[in-house]
Amino acid sequence: MAMQVASPESDEAELTTTINVTPLVDVMLVMLIIFLITIPVIVKVVPVTLPNARNIPTTTKPENIVLAVDKNENIYWNNQPVGSNQELIQRLEDAMIRAHNSGAPLPEVHIRADENVRFEAVGKLVYDAQRASVPKLGFLTEPRNQGP
DSSP per position, the chain: -------TT-SSPPPP-S---HHHHHHHHHHHHHHHHHHHHHT------PPPP---PPPPPTT-EEEEE-TT--EEETTEE---HHHHHHHHHHHHHHHHHHTPPPPPEEEEE-TTS-HHHHHHHHHHHHHTT-S-EEE---PPP---
pLDDT for 7 equals 58
**Mean pLDDT per segment of 10 residues, for the chain of length 148 residues?**
58 73 92 86 67 64 84 90 91 91 87 90 92 89 62
Annotation: CATH topology of 65-139:
Nucleotidyltransferase; domain 5 (3.30.420)
- Which pLDDT does position 37 carry in this prediction? 86
In this prediction, residue 68 carries a pLDDT of 92
Domain boundaries, the chain: 65-139
The confidence score (pLDDT) of residue 8 equals 58
Say if pTM beats, i.e. exceeds, 0.85: no
User: What pLDDT is attached to residue 140?
Assistant: 83
What pLDDT, on the 0 to 100 scale, is given for residue 56?
Answer: 65
pLDDT score for 38: 82
